[in-house]
Chain A
Amino acid sequence: MTCSPQDSPGLSLQLLDFVVDRLEVGIFAVDASMNIVLWNRFMASHSGRLGTEVIGRNLFECFPELPVKWLEKKINSVFVLKNYAFTSWEQRPYLFRFNHNRPITGGIEAMQQSCTFLPVKDEADNVGHVCVTLFDYTDTALYQAKLTQAIAELDRDKEVQDKLIAELEVAQEALQQLASFDALTGLANRRTFDKNLSTEWRRASRESQPLSLLMIDVDYFKRFNDAYGHQMGDACLQFVATAISAADLRETDTAARYGGEEFSVILPGTTLDGARVVGERIRECVQGLEVPHKQSEVSSIVSISVGAATMIPTSRRGPEQLIAVADDALYQAKRAGRNRVVAVNGDADADVVPAATTA
């Protein structure tokens, strides 16, 4: 207190009374019997009980809704321990159920209050009264509620975002699948074939390893389509694709639908003999399916011709040359009577598989 009582003791006391009464803080005091001895304007206006009504009367008789046992204990502890005591709106929203000054914009049930209980000591250090100050924390409580809500919303947004990202990843994977694979047969499509072939070509070139390629054509497929219809034609291509998949290819091999009734298989690190074996295995698998083909000139069931080619890639050549050699091998297989494998070493002369392997 910065009043100077020497100058004008009357004025300073008057000023003190004024401040205590008019401060926008609840101030009241009780004696050891819990009788109210001070009740400022804030308390009066919010409780609707004037000082003249409550001063001299017991706090709990005037306000029976107060938590008697707890509050009495609290005030008593201040008398006994000559010590401060506190309540916080965060744990106990209010001591007195007062209306707050945000009846429209509030959305909160009652004025949020934090209180301090002060021991009023006399000169002999005895506590004759306990003074309570009551601060309105409604605004703080509202801001905190908004903050909590905003944080919760952020968390929720994050959840939605995470979910969308997960869905997007699934969709991207599906899209990737669509873009890489042939819809009818489930084998790699032409795009993937081209990509993988040039990748394997570069790898084989670096490592000076042989790279083999099979070109596969369904014998008399146009006639099959004409005889059985396009739907059966599609089914036939699916059967052949199944046979290729059943031929024990490795992870690193690429089986693709090259276009129309043509299929191809990339066989990295495989010699011409190895390629011939794989081609023969696929041919046998197709035979094993025993799909009827009444219009075929070489058999009563669906058969394939296979051209196999091998090269050790060099930087002077490109993968298209390997395709050209494999195409040539396929042409030779057809010329030789179909339903057979012809293997051609791209680095040497043609090498026709003995007729014994044909059906």
Chain B
Amino acid sequence: MLTQDQKDALQEVANIGMGRAGASLAQVLGHFVILSIPRIVFLQPEEVASELTRIVGESEVSAVRQAFQSKMRGEAIVIFGAQRCNDLADLMGYEEDLDHATEIELLLDTTNILVGACLSGITEQLNAEIGFSAPSLLADRMPVEELLHMGNVSWQNALLVEVNFRLEQRSFACHLVMLMAEDQIAVMAEALDHFLESF
């Protein structure tokens, strides 16, 4: 899929990207954000469910997906635990009590800024413009193993980048997963080569 140099470069780009993302998220939320070091894995469709279960470590989840388009296309999924992101409501400017629709909107809003910050953090370094579609709800309190049915997909290999979020002094935590299919990995490889040449 990627050469060792390309993998190292991607890890480097992702590390720097998350650093930038953390800084801008802190600015938006007015609160310190802790981002894990991104973990990069190559997966086959049948491995996705078990990988997600392993990442989440919780049985019931809510999740939002969002498509991104730049040189590379893919989908990002943000997975929330039982607490969802209600602990984030005030930081996101929500003042009223959360009814079901507002809770969902908060999930979508939170996903949008997390995905936006993290992906921009990566693509900026690769000199790629990035655009996003509106996020949509993938799971509203559902068993994690039912999250992604990979029975009928058009890809054999995918690149998965996983980042964990936490807020300092708050209970909020969630997982961000970016998935790109193999045809996009080739585009990524090319972009990484350009990145390596620029040093």
Contact = CB atoms under 8 A, between A and B. Distances in A.
Q: Is A bound to B?
A: yes
A69 B95 contact: yes
B124 to A, nearest CB: 9
A82 B51 CA distance: 31
Interface in B146-165: none
Given A83-B120, A86-B134, A86-B135, A73 B104 contact: no
A80 B29 CA distance: 11
Interface stretch (B42-50, B78-86, B109-117): B109-117
Nearest to B112: A85
B81 to A, nearest CB: 20
A76 B28 contact: yes
A299 interface: no
A91 B27 contact: no
Contacts of A84: 112, 116, 131-132
Central interface residue in A69, A71, A85, A87, by most chain B CB within 10 Å:
A85
B92 interface: yes
A69 B24 CA distance: 19
Interface residues of A, number: 23
B75 interface: no
A83 B113 contact: yes
Nearest to B100: A91
Contacts of B28: 73, 76-77, 80-81
Given A72-B93, A73-B28, A116-B134, A81 B102 contact: no
A80 B24 contact: yes
A77 B95 CA distance: 17
Contact of A86 (B93, B94, B108): B108
B93 A70 contact: yes
A92 B92 CA distance: 15
Contact of A82 (B94, B120, B135): B120
Interface string A37-50: 00000000000000
A326 B182 CA distance: 89
Interface string A236-261: 00000000000000000000000000
Contact of B24 (A70, A72, A81): A81
B72 to A, nearest CB: 17
B108 A81 contact: no
Contacts of B105: 87-88, 91-92
Given A70-B92, A70-B95, A80 B108 contact: no
Nearest to B117: A81
A81 B113 contact: yes
Contact of A91 (B92, B108, B116, B120): B108
Given A69-B93, A77-B113, A85-B112, A91 B101 contact: yes
Interface of B: 24-25, 27-28, 92-95, 101-102, 104-105, 108-109, 112-113, 116-117, 120, 131-132, 134-135
Given A74-B109, A86-B108, 14 more contacts: A67-B95, A70-B95, A73-B28, A73-B93, A77-B113, A77-B116, A83-B113, A83-B117, A84-B116, A85-B112, A85-B113, A91-B102, A92-B102, A116-B134
16 contacts: A67-B95, A72-B93, A74-B93, A76-B28, A77-B113, A80-B27, A81-B24, A81-B113, A83-B113, A84-B116, A86-B108, A86-B112, A90-B104, A91-B105, A92-B101, A92-B102
